[in-house]
Structure 1
Amino acid sequence: MASSRRELVSLIEQSVIPPEQVTHAIEAAGLRPSPRDWAIFVDRLLLWLGGLALAFAVLFFIAYNWLEMERWLRFGVVQAAVLLAVGIAVWAKTRLTLQRVALTSATLLVGVLLALFGQVYQTGADPWQLFFIWALLTLPWVWVARFELLWVLWLGLLNLAIGLYFRTWGGPFGALANSDAALWGLLGINTLALIFWEWGAYSGRWGEGRWAARLLAVGSGVPVTLLLMSLIAEMQPMWSSVLVIYPLWLVALYTGYRHWQPDLFMIAGGCVSVIAVATWLLARYWLWEGEWQAGSLLFMAIAVLAMGAGAVIWLKRLHRETWQ
């Protein structure tokens, strides 16, 4: 569907299809949803909204009736909801959407159960342990479902666990035992997740949707960009491994998504990262260390506009060379 849409847009831009024939071309390509497509969409939307609403309803029910419910009843309600969701997932093997909704609801309910356990028994555990145990317990369901949304939810839990862990205890090495330790952890886990995700998509082990890979790329690009910006912001910049990792990350991003798996979104994200770092560097030397002048902000604005315009021109040329 995406390739057909891209090819049709390319033909329209090249004026191969006359403007008066665009509507007929869209209908012939099957890009306009039919009434049956709308019915399927609404059916799945209501199924997802209903499943998620029931999962959150358990949480709100326990919270609202906290004082009236005994300890065993609180746990019983949540555990019964988890068993019901898992039972529906096992029963609905042939109905993939229903199975995914049930497993997603079960994953959320496990988090409710862990939060309830910590609240009732006041274990005093660190917050990162909650998210780590949550991710660990739900990993089999995520693996069985092989559903992009559930994988992203699981990786989000792992990101929270790793980020909170490094913020609490620092890094395992002296170079990481600082305020940037959480960013290093997020960079590592999201980069590895992106590599495995692209490998799985390339080998056909799971869906070919690009939104999850792009989200992981953002999760990898934001930490490495912030690490370099943090180094630039230091009053006395010192040597850091990010000075090597950041260029390597850019080269890998361009090589992978220019030649191996063409994706303009990824390359555009790299351009945004470079512009952000360059702007931060200019701000350091023009605004913080240099003598303040009214024209400094004007020069910075011109520099940002120039870099943005150059990136757009280059990306448009790259798009024509690769996708047309």
Structure 2
Amino acid sequence: MESSRGELVNLIEQKKIAKDNIKQAINIANIHPAPKAWFDFINQLLLWLGCVSLGLAVIFFIAHNWSEIGRFAKFALVEISLIFAIIVYVKTKPQTNASNGALITATLLLGALMALFGQTYQTGADPWQLFFNWALFILPWALIARFTSLWIIWLALLNIALALYCDVNTNPLSLFFTNKVNPLWLFIGLNSFIFTCWHTLSLSRTWMKKTWAIRVIALVTGTLITENALLAIVDDYIIHTLALPVWGVFLGAIYWLYRKVSIDLFMLSGACLSGIVVLTAVVGNGVIFSGDGAEYLLVSIMVIGLGSGSAFWLKQVQQEMN
């Protein structure tokens, strides 16, 4: 649909389609969704909202009535709901919206069951262990189901567990470095490794080829690397860190993968945005404190110039795609 839309826009811009025939061309290109497409979209939307709402409803019901419900009733409610969700997944056809929705509900209920166990018996475990064990227990489901959304949830749980772990341990990299190192490197390493594995495996596995999943992972990884580069610039320790070289390698990899190997405007747009932010921070950090008010104008002109240049380049890439 995106390709047909882009081709039609180019034809209209080049005035190869008469104004009187534009509406007919749009209908022939089948750009506007048909009534059946709207029905399928609404049907899937209600299914997913229902599955997620069911899992959250059980959690909120127990939390709201915590003092009124006994411990065995709490466990019974969560476990029966979890078993029911698993039965629905087993009985339905694999790789369908119904089975995937049941699996998401089961994932939420499993986390609720683990939290309920820890809160009821006061195990004394740190909060990061809850999310880590939650991710550990749903890993077999993710491997068997090969469901992209479940893998993204698994990745989110790992990042939350790592964030809570770093919050408890002030120096999480003490085993490898004597001096305190920015824990942001742990997140960069984790998400970069997953991004590399996902991109490599997607070349041979159909279920991993969904564009939105690799874009989400790349967005998280790119945001972390850009943030680390900004911290290096603001804290004035550029020479003593690998933040900027790693940032440059990441941008180079994105350019090579999604410009030379295959074209993806979303990835290239994110790389352009990261480049604008970091380059502006480098220049701004050097001139803002010079004492002259003209530096703000310089930074503004730089942002406008970089943004306009990026838009022009992306437009050229889009024309190459069409």
- Give the TM-score normalised by the residue count of structure 1: 0.91
2: CA distance, partners of 1:252 / 1:94: 36
* Alpha carbons 1:176, 1:184 under 8 Å: kept: no
Q: More displaced, 153-162 or 101-110?
A: 153-162
CA RMSD of aligned residues (A): 2.1
2: CA distance, partners of 1:177 / 1:166: 12
Residue in structure 2 matched with residue 305 of structure 1 by the alignment: 304
1: CA distance, partners of 2:146 / 2:14: 39
2: CA distance, partners of 1:231 / 1:184: 12
2: CA distance, partners of 1:265 / 1:112: 36
For structure 1, the residue ranges without an aligned partner over 5 or more in a row are none
Bigger relative contact order (CA 8 A; separation at least 6): 2
Residue in structure 2 matched with residue 27 of structure 1 by the alignment: 27
* Alpha carbons 1:187, 1:219 under 8 Å: kept: no
Structure 2 residue matching 1:138: 3-state secondary structure: helix
Residue in structure 2 matched with residue 269 of structure 1 by the alignment: 270
2: CA distance, partners of 1:95 / 1:146: 8
The Cα shift of 1:277 comes to 1.0
Structure 2 residue matching 1:174: 3-state secondary structure: coil
* Alpha carbons 1:275, 1:304 under 8 Å: kept: yes
* Alpha carbons 1:85, 1:105 under 8 Å: kept: yes
| Count of residues in correspondence between the two structures | 319
Does residue 278 (structure 1) correspond to residue 279 (structure 2)? The answer is: yes
2: CA distance, partners of 1:245 / 1:311: 22
2: CA distance, partners of 1:195 / 1:241: 19
Q: CA offsets, 1:92-146, max 9 Å, x none?
A: 1257110010001111111111221222122222222111111111112222332
Q: 1:136 to 1:27 in 2, by over 3 A?
A: same
Amino acid at match of 1:200: L
Q: 1:17 to 1:207 in 2, by over 3 A?
A: farther
1: CA distance, partners of 2:97 / 2:222: 32
Structure 1 residue matching 2:32: 3-state secondary structure: coil
2: CA distance, partners of 1:224 / 1:243: 9
2: CA distance, partners of 1:238 / 1:126: 37
1: CA distance, partners of 2:210 / 2:179: 35
Residue in structure 1 matched with residue 77 of structure 2 by the alignment: 77
Amino acid at match of 2:293: A
The Cα shift of 1:202 comes to 2.5
Q: CA offsets, 1:149-205, max 9 Å, x none?
A: 222111111111223323433224217843x21x21221222222222223333243
The Cα shift of 1:303 comes to 1.5
Structure 1 residue matching 2:298: 3-state secondary structure: helix
Q: More displaced, 191-200 or 262-271?
A: 191-200
Residue in structure 1 matched with residue 313 of structure 2 by the alignment: 314
Residue in structure 2 matched with residue 49 of structure 1 by the alignment: 49
Residue in structure 2 matched with residue 128 of structure 1 by the alignment: 128
* Alpha carbons 1:166, 1:185 under 8 Å: kept: no
* Alpha carbons 1:88, 1:102 under 8 Å: kept: yes
**1:14-163 superposed matches below 5 A:** 14-93=14-93, 96-163=96-163
- Give the TM-score normalised by the residue count of structure 2: 0.91
The Cα shift of 1:58 comes to 0.2
Residue in structure 1 matched with residue 225 of structure 2 by the alignment: 224
* Alpha carbons 1:131, 1:157 under 8 Å: kept: yes
* Alpha carbons 2:188, 2:221 under 8 Å: kept: yes
2: CA distance, partners of 1:229 / 1:176: 21
Amino acid at match of 1:174: F
1: CA distance, partners of 2:292 / 2:235: 22
Q: 1:284 to 1:323 in 2, by over 3 A?
A: same
1: CA distance, partners of 2:237 / 2:190: 29
Q: More displaced, 301-310 or 207-216?
A: 207-216
The Cα shift of 1:256 comes to 0.6
Q: How many percent identity over aligned positions?
A: 39
